[in-house]
Structure 1
Amino acid sequence: MSDPGPKSYRGSDITVTFDAGRCRHAAECVRGLPEVFDVSARPWITPDNAGADAVAEVVARCPSGALQYIRATPPA
């Protein structure tokens, strides 16, 4: 069976992607922003539960790179 690749979780200001195949379960995300990263919830990532800067900061601490983010482009 092939890896389906990263899954996207879209918020209004930031989209978080998660690649389960890369995750090493260090739990930096869960400890850093449990209101956004909640493994007992579905979906388990809700980017709008915190500010985009805070989400980006926690995603950047992911040691495996399983989490990435893309900022929404403001309208011109």
Structure 2
Amino acid sequence: MGEGDHIHCFVSAPPKLSVTDIVKYLKGISGRKLFEQFPEIRQKLWKGQLWNHSYYVETIGSVSEENIRRYIEHQSKSY
């Protein structure tokens, strides 16, 4: 894996949506859009799949939105 092998998403959602469903939607929609726009990438992927099945989620609790945004921005600059 390379340094650019993951993404960060800062998501706010109503409590009725499960984390699993949110991740499924994000991966499904983004994958479909990318394959529509760049159909040739499917041939370069392991088994033609853009995303693997794993993901990491963390709730922010008492951390401010500003601190989360700053963390994500810092992560992208380190690459």
Q: Normalising by the residue count of structure 1, what TM-score does the alignment of the two structures yield?
A: 0.24
> Looking at CA atoms only, which structure, 1 or 2, has the larger radius of gyration?
2
Q: Normalising by the residue count of structure 2, what TM-score does the alignment of the two structures yield?
A: 0.24
